[in-house]
Amino acid sequence: MGDLRRGAKLGIDARKTFAERVVESGGSDGLVIIHVGASGIDTVGQLAAHASKIGADAISAIVLFYYRYDKTSLVSFYQKIAEATDVPLLVYNNPPRQGYQMPVDTIAAVFEAVKGVKGVKDTSGDPEQLVELRLRFSNTHFIASGSDTLVYNTFVIGLPAHISGLACIYPELVAQIYRNVVDGRMEEALRLQSQLNKIRNVLKSIGPDVASYKHVLKLRGIDIGGPLPPTRPLTSDEEKQLEQRLPRVP
């Protein structure tokens, strides 16, 4: 229910229903992390309590968006979420979506003050920030990257996870980057990262936000419908342009 799943566009009842279905589908073998972020703290608290009630393994919450919040305010925000749930909580830092950066020192303050916070998904796209998070907190907290241009970097610096949007469309390509890094085949991993970057650039350049992602997923045999309103689907010309420019993945 994060960026690509359009959770922020849905009402609270729809988000609860979706979360219930995901937990049910995950079963006892799956690890289910429900994103509960929203622009209002009351909604976040309700979604956090619901996720805990239905058996989610953990929750995450993007930094409050629209308005800009300082360190003290964000510590208070995550403390209130932790009080509403009994499952582990992850900070979600996504500056392009929330509208401002959550620097390492603010993340550190949240880690120190809120015991229920067990880690962070950092989608800043900043390699320097990832390195700092890795060096300062990898022994005490779960640190994951969320920027698709940094899959290679994530595993080279020793982080345990990358939460990838493009892996929803090209899981095999993202998995190959990881495997090649682990096996020490750095040149091949770097080549695959370059290919992933090219795919991302094409997807970002055609049509409105996320519409291109859903069309390519349909081309790959999984039709989950068009984007949620008011986002429009691709035009026929945009579909042709996308199909012509998109790099081929073996």
- Alpha-carbon distance of 40 to 21, in angstroms, equals 24
- Alpha-carbon distance of 19 to 56, in angstroms, equals 8
Residue 221 within any structural domain of the chain = no
Give the pLDDT confidence score for residue 9 in this predicted structure. 84
What is the CATH number for 85? 3.20.20.70
Sheet holding 161-162, edge to edge: 33-35, 58-62, 89-93, 117-122, 142-145, 161-162
Residue 50 within any structural domain of the chain = yes
The number of folded domains in the chain is 1
Give the pLDDT confidence score for residue 249 in this predicted structure. 84
Q: Which residues pair with 34 in a beta bridge?
A: 59
Residue 185 within any structural domain of the chain = no
Residue 135 within any structural domain of the chain = no
Residue 55 within any structural domain of the chain = yes
Q: Tens digit of pLDDT for each residue in 29-75?
A: 889 999 999 999 999 999 999 999 999 999 999 999 888 999 999 99
Residue 250 within any structural domain of the chain = no
Give the pLDDT confidence score for residue 4 in this predicted structure. 53
Give the pLDDT confidence score for residue 28 in this predicted structure. 77
Q: Please provide the DSSP assignment of 102-156 as one string.
A: --HHHHHHHHHH-TTEEEEEE-S--HHHHHHHHHHHTTTSEEEE--GGGHHHHHH
Task: Mark the ranges of the chain whose per-residue pLDDT is less than 70.
Answer: 1-7
Residue 62 within any structural domain of the chain = yes
- Alpha-carbon distance of 11 to 8, in angstroms, equals 8
- Alpha-carbon distance of 215 to 239, in angstroms, equals 8
Q: Look up the domain containing 37 and give its range.
A: 1-124
- Under 8 Å between Cβ of 210 and 242: no
Please enumerate in sequence order all residues whose Cβ is within 8 A of that of 160, keeping only pairs 6 or more positions apart, or say none: 142, 143, 144
- Alpha-carbon distance of 56 to 23, in angstroms, equals 6
Residue 132 within any structural domain of the chain = no
